[in-house]
Structure formats: structure tokens, C-alpha cells
């Protein structure tokens, strides 16, 4: 039996342009997303977790932060992206942290049954081809009574910063791929009712989906790099010639003027904080 096309597409993207873009922008993204990392660390500590699985761990910032906080607890990061996991492993080695990183699709990977007491994710669970199957598989990796602590984006309408680049670039790039709101993609979990239905169907109980609004900041000096690497526009620009690239970037950057405050870029990220318990 072959691999479903959507899964192939996700693997190709995150082992290709998308994964490489996140590696290149790692420092900017780590700083930008640090408030979410800190929230997940606080959650893990409050719940007394000792064995944690970080799903869609990327270059490992959250996984490593949890490992530091647990001071020797069993922490594993899983991601489909080989280049991102390579960076995560290198970071763990530099810090001498005993963290395990696995290159795998968490939807189908065979985890040790009941090994973890907590599963976390910072924007890493919205890309499953079959999310019900994925969360059933993840539930099997958690002991009875184990916890979920996930962060996912709400709707594009509530996150105008996230779509500013492709909206501004539309006159120049009419064929730019649209953001998907039904998954897999960043906004796949925008509908809270759908999230609850997915988790309930995959066997999770005590499900909570609460709005979370977080102030995010990064340096204005990093804005052009962010715009040209991340999201649909970043994927298109990677293949554009230098002249076209410069023309599009010049046209797009003013769309971010409302978010620029002195030497910083500031916006509010509209997200869900999703919880559940393994029944």
C-alpha cells in the first residue's frame, strides 16, 4: 500500500523548502515563539510530568526547554523533517541534554505503549492528513490519565499578521497557493468544534479548547528574512529570480507597517490552548 499523497506532500515540504526555511530562520522563530514555549514548560511543571513527547518539535526549542526544566526527565521530540531534527539534535548535543529526537510521522509511528505521561505541541499538530487517526495513535503512547497540552492557531481572520505577506503579494503572484483552512496546514484547527470532535473520536476525555492571545515580538531587522522564508510566499520566493524577488519584497514589506514599533515588529497571535486526558 502506498503512502497517501497528502502525507507525501507534507514529508516533501518539511524535508524540502518548508523545513529548510525554518532552519534558516531558527533564531528569529525561536524568539518570536518563546512565549508559547514558556507556557508549555509551565504547564508541564504544573502537572508534575516526568516523561514528555513533543509533537512536531521542529528544531527543538520547546523540547529542549522542557528537558532543562525537568532536569533529567524523559523527553522525546518527534518531527517529520530531517533537516529540522538534525538541528535539534545538534542543539541537544551542545547543551549535553539527554533528549531523544525521532524523525517520523507521529500519525503512524509506533511509540512505546503508555510510555509518556504528557504530550505537548507548539503549532505542530495541524498538519496531519488524518488527525483522528493521529490522535488515536498518540493516545496509545500515553499512560492512562496522561495529559495533552497543545497550542494551535485560530482562524486566518483573527491572525492578519500571518496572511499579510501573501495578501500584499497577490497582485504580483496570482498563482500563490492559498492558505488551507481545512488542513493539513497552519489553520487546520481553527474550528474549536472540529478540534473537540477529533479528540473525542480518537479517545481523549476532559477536552478543553480555550482561546489564547499572546503578544509576539521580533526585531524589525529580521522582518525581510521572515517574510521571504515563512509561509506560502516564502515557498514561492525561494524559486524566484533575484530581480523578481526584490520587486515583490519591496511591495510586500509596507503591508507590515502597522505592526512595526520602532526597532521591533509586534503582533498578537490568536491561538487555542487545547487540553485533554487519556481515558
Q: How far apart are CA 63 and CA 66, in angstroms?
A: 5
Q: How far apart are CA 179 and CA 18, in angstroms?
A: 14
Q: What is the pLDDT of residues 236-276, one digit of tens each?
A: 777 777 887 888 888 899 999 999 999 999 999 999 999 99
pLDDT of residue 173: 74
The sign of the dihedral angle between the CA atoms of 158, 28, 123, 170 is: positive
Q: What's the CATH fold of domain 5-155+178-216+268-278?
A: Rossmann fold (3.40.50)
pLDDT of residue 207: 98
DSSP-derived secondary structure letter, 154: -
Tell me what the pLDDT averaged over the chain comes to.
90
Which residues sit opposite 150 in a β-bridge? 121, 274
Q: Over 50: is that where the pLDDT of 6 sits?
A: no
Q: How far apart are CA 88 and CA 37, in angstroms?
A: 15
User: Which helix or strand (DSSP H or E) is residue 69 part of?
Assistant: helix 61-70
pLDDT of residue 177: 67
SS3 239: coil
Q: How far apart are CA 222 and CA 225, in angstroms?
A: 5
Contact 237, 228 (CB under 8 A): yes
pLDDT of residue 240: 75
pLDDT of residue 243: 83
pLDDT of residue 7: 44
Q: Over 50: is that where the pLDDT of 2 sits?
A: no
Q: What is the pLDDT of residues 60-114, one digit of tens each?
A: 999 999 999 998 678 999 999 999 999 999 999 999 998 999 999 999 999 999 9
Calculate the alpha carbon distances from 253 to 4, 163, 193, 256, 265 in Å.
37, 12, 35, 6, 12
pLDDT of residue 174: 72
What are the residue ranges spanned by the domains of the chain?
A: 5-155+178-216+268-278
pLDDT of residue 53: 98
The answer to which of 47-51, 70-74, 192-196 has the lowest mean pLDDT is: 70-74
Nearest to 75 by CA among 90, 57, 91, 58: 57
Nearest to 153 by CA among 99, 65, 202, 216: 216
Helix-helix angle 192-201:131-140, to 10 degrees: 50
Q: How far apart are CA 147 and CA 216, in angstroms?
A: 26
pLDDT of residue 21: 85
pLDDT of residue 18: 77
Helix-helix angle 61-70:34-46, to 10 degrees: 30
The answer to which of 10-19, 44-53, 57-66 has the lowest mean pLDDT is: 10-19
Q: How far apart are CA 85 and CA 266, in angstroms?
A: 28
Amino acid at each position: 500500500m502506498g503512502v497517501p499523497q497528502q502525507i507525501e506532500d507534507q514529508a516533501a515540504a518539511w524535508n524540502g523548502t518548508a523545513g529548510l526555511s525554518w532552519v534558516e530562520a531558527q533564531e528569529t522563530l525561536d524568539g518570536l515563539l518563546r512565549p508559547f514555549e514558556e507556557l508549555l514548560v509551565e504547564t508541564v511543571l504544573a502537572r508534575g510530568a516526568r516523561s514528555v513527547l513533543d509533537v512536531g518539535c521542529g528544531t527543538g526549542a520547546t523540547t529542549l526547554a522542557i528537558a532543562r526544566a525537568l532536569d533529567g526527565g524523559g523527553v522525546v521530540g518527534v518531527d517529520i523533517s530531517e533537516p529540522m531534527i538534525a538541528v535539534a539534535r545538534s542543539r541537544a548535543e551542545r547543551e549535553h541534554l539527554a533528549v531523544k529526537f525521532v524523525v517520523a510521522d507521529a500519525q503512524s509511528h509506533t511509540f512505546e505503549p503508555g510510555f509518556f505521561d504528557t504530550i505537548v505541541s507548539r503549532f505542530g499538530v495541524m498538519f496531519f492528513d488524518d488527525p483522528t487517526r493521529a490522535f488515536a495513535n498518540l493516545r496509545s503512547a500515553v499512560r492512562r490519565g496522561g495529559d495533552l497540552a497543545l497550542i494551535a492557531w485560530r482562524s486566518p481572520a483573527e491572525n492578519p499578521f500571518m496572511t499579510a505577506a501573501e495578501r500584499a503579494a497577490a497582485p504580483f503572484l496570482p498563482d500563490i497557493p492559498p492558505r488551507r483552512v481545512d488542513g493539513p496546514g497552519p489553520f487546520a484547527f481553527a474550528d474549536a468544534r472540529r478540534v473537540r470532535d477529533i479528540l473525542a473520536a480518537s479517545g481523549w476525555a476532559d477536552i478543553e479548547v480555550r482561546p489564547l492571545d499572546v503578544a509576539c515580538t521580533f526585531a524589525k531587522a529580521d522582518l525581510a528574512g521572515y517574510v521571504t522564508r515563512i509561509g506560502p510566499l516564502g515557498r514561492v520566493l525561494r524559486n524566484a529570480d533575484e530581480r523578481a524577488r526584490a520587486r515583490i519584497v519591496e511591495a510586500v514589506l509596507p503591508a507590515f507597517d502597522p505592526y512595526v514599533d520602532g526597532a521591533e515588529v509586534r503582533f498578537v497571535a490568536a491561538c487555542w490552548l487545547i487540553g485533554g486526558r487519556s481515558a
